[in-house]
Structure 1
Amino acid sequence: MMIINIQKHFRNNIRKCFLLFIFLIFFISCTKKEALTSTSFKTNSGWGYTIAYKEKILIKQTIIPVISENKSFATEGDALKVAELVKEKLKQNLSPTVTKKDLILLKIKL
């Protein structure tokens, strides 16, 4: 009887530790991903965006990349869509460059 209770207690503790471990891994992975933040800002002719890591600005984009004209994004939403794309590329350790195809797929007004 005593051995059975000890085994149950041991199994319950193992389960609790395992669940705690899974929770910690999930929490760490979530906070790591959130280290990159994006914000929009108003420019003289439209919108731009910044991407920061731990509150240090890594990228400040005031104009639409890849097009021949120097013009800002028409809407805040357009700026944020491109910012999210760049952020995802950075998270995947890819080059943060944006192509014209990316802008078309995101339906950015050019």
Structure 2
Amino acid sequence: MRKITIIVATILILGLFLYGVTHLSFDEKVQEPILRKEVIKVHNGYGYQIFSGEKLLVQQEFIPAVRGNQPFQSAKDAEKVAKLVIDKIRNRTSPKISIDELKEMEIVILGQ
């Protein structure tokens, strides 16, 4: 009877060890949240939202770096800037947008 108990205990310990080795990894990468963008219609134009999963991170109703409250003139412009912001967040750089970046992306800015 003692011999059977030792065999069962050994099998149980070996099984737990194998489970741990196959299911747990110390080298797993930490998964980053999935970032997504949505273009939104605002008064007189467009803006964008950036989500991490279901959590709203950014609600941008106006063109960043531009004086006043000027919305994007097209959904395409809003989408281009939102994509750049997501790229900056993923690269762990400041998500600030500059006037030069807006000009480089050919974002329509009224009065300029």
Percent of aligned positions that are identical:
32
CA distance in 2, matches of 1:41, 1:103: 19
CA distance in 2, matches of 1:67, 1:49: 15
TM-score by length of structure 1 reads 0.69
- Give the superposition deviation at 1:68: 1.2
Alignment of 1:23-34 (within 5 A): 32=32
1:62 to 2:91 alignment = no
Alignment of 1:83-98 (within 5 A): 83-98=82-97
Runs of 4+ in 1 over 2 A off after TM superposition: none
CA distance in 2, matches of 1:50, 1:102: 19
User: Which residue in the other structure is 1:36 paired with?
Assistant: 35
CA distance in 2, matches of 1:55, 1:100: 30
Alignment of 1:1-110 (within 5 A): 32=32, 35-110=34-109
Structure with bigger helix share is 1
What are the Cα deviations for residues 57-87 of structure 1, in whole angstroms up to 9, with x where unaligned? 0000000011112110000000000000000
Task: For structure 2, list consecutive stretches of 5 or more residues without a partner in the other structure.
Answer: 1-27
Q: Provide the alpha-carbon RMSD of the alignment.
A: 1.8
Bigger mean CA offset, 89-98 vs 62-71: 62-71
TM-score by length of structure 2 reads 0.68
CA distance in 2, matches of 1:83, 1:67: 15
User: Which residue in the other structure is 1:7 paired with?
Assistant: none
CA distance in 1, matches of 2:43, 2:66: 18
Q: Secondary structure at the match of 1:67?
A: coil
CA distance in 2, matches of 1:67, 1:82: 13
Which amino acid in the other structure matches residue 41 of structure 2? Answer: K
Which amino acid in the other structure matches residue 58 of structure 2? Answer: I
